[in-house]
Amino acid sequence: MNNTDHSFRIVVQRWVNPQRELFEESAEYCYHGVGTNYLEEEKKSVEVIRWHNGRSNSENYNKELKGGFGLEHVPCNDFGGNAVWFGIVILAYNLFIASKIFLFPKSWVKKTIRTIRWEFVCMAGKVIRHSRQLILRICSALRETFEIYVEARQKCCELT
């Protein structure tokens, strides 16, 4: 902030510290500042805070890409190869988001790739071969997850 010639505005939120009695030397108030280049005539302070809070979820998307889809490291020293890798990961992420929206129940929209992998891949089951058939026996507690999987496959086939 000290090394810029551009002007900006800081909007500060203040609220009473809800855990003040837990610590003897804690402050009476909590503060949160948002730096912006909006003039006060363009956006009021409340509108700046609302706008900022609406975009604060972008860090979770980055975390999902890095932790869930393997973008924490690039695979090689070649810029072109890394660009291809990045494009494939972004495509996979977008397909995952589309499948959450169009194929899975509404309650699954906020689930991360790790959670959905855990629920699908880590199912307790047993494959049985009997009279020329393969039978998949699943733990009764996971039957609901399996039904969601079957329903998502049917919806996927209907899309084509």
Q: What is the mean pLDDT of residues 56-60?
A: 76
The model's pLDDT over 127-156, given as tens digits with 9 standing for 90+, comes to 899 888 998 887 766 777 878 888 888 888
For residue 26, CA distances in Å to 3, 12, 21, 121, 131 come to: 32, 19, 8, 46, 71
Q: Of 23, 49, 21, which Cα lies nearest the Cα of 35?
A: 49
Give the model's pLDDT for residue 95. 92
Would the pTM count as exceeding 0.85? no
**Per-range mean pLDDT, top range of 24-28, 68-72, 86-90:** 86-90
Give the model's pLDDT for residue 93. 94
Q: What is the mean pLDDT of residues 12-26?
A: 77
Helix intervals (H) in the chain:
45-55, 58-63, 69, 79-102, 113-121, 143-159
The rounded distance, in Å, linking the Cα atoms of 109 and 100 is 5
Could you tell me which residue, 80 or 145, shows the higher pLDDT? 80
